[in-house]
Structure 1
Amino acid sequence: MNLRERLVAERLKRNLTQKQVADMLSISEVYVRKIEKSQRNPGRETMLKFESIYGIPDRKLFPDLFRVSIDTKRINII
């Protein structure tokens, strides 16, 4: 399951192509595709641009980047 399904769903809901989104964000179509597939992570500025065009908080568009992970394993130093 792609963690960025909401990002894709919002684009499709607006009948936008990846090329149109790329043009709106001033980034490449390939980069949009990789962001949607979680193969690349956008910078903060790009996340805010996505938030602006979709009207959805970045935390909902990119939940994988905001997940809090608490590491409970420790290295015991003797």
Structure 2
Amino acid sequence: MRCRLVQERNTRGWTQKQVAEMLGVSEVYIRKIEKGHRNPGRETMLKFEKLYSTRDRVLFPELFQVSIDTKSIKKIPKEVS
């Protein structure tokens, strides 16, 4: 669940339906985004950012995390230089 996103909506006393209407998307889509079952597109992220006056990186922190998977990185042979 995207706690900060839900917190911002609840702080303002808005329902998912109201947010959906303000953003021009469906209520089901808002529900799925808040639960983390769907990721918003860049345009929708910007709409949330403007609506809540909060950076997208704060609202959707997991989408901006960088992870380096060193286990799947293969060693480069020395001959390839």
State if a TM-score over 0.5 links the two structures: yes
What is aligned with 1:8?
6
Candidates 15, 18, 34, aligned match of 1:17: 15
Output the TM-score relative to the length of structure 1: 0.91
2:47 maps to which of 28, 46, 49: 49
Q: Cα distance, 1:43 vs. partner?
A: 0.2
**How many angstroms apart in 1 are the aligned matches of 2:45 and 2:52?**
11
Instruction: Kindly provide the amino acid, as one letter, of the partner of residue 18 in structure 1.
Output: Q
How many residues were matched structurally?
Answer: 76
Larger Rg: 2
Structure 1, gaps ≥5 residues long: none
- 1:15 alignment partner, SS class: coil
Q: Structure 2 length as normaliser, TM-score?
A: 0.88
The answer to whether 1:28 aligns with 2:8 is no
What is the CA-CA distance between 1:66 and the residue it aligns to? 0.5
Amino acid at match of 1:61: L
Residues of 1 paired with 2:6 and 2:76: CA distance? 46
Looking at structure 1, the residues matched to 12 and 76 of structure 2 have their Cα atoms a distance apart, in angstroms, of 55
Structure ranking higher on relative contact order (CA contacts 8 Å, 6+ apart): 1
- CA drift of 1:45 comes to 0.3
Identity %: 67
Which residue number corresponds to residue 69 of structure 1? 67
Q: 2: CA distance between counterparts of 1:32 and 1:42?
A: 9
Cα RMSD (Å) of the superposition? 1.4
Report the alpha carbon displacement of residue 75 of structure 1 after superposing the two structures with TM.
3.9
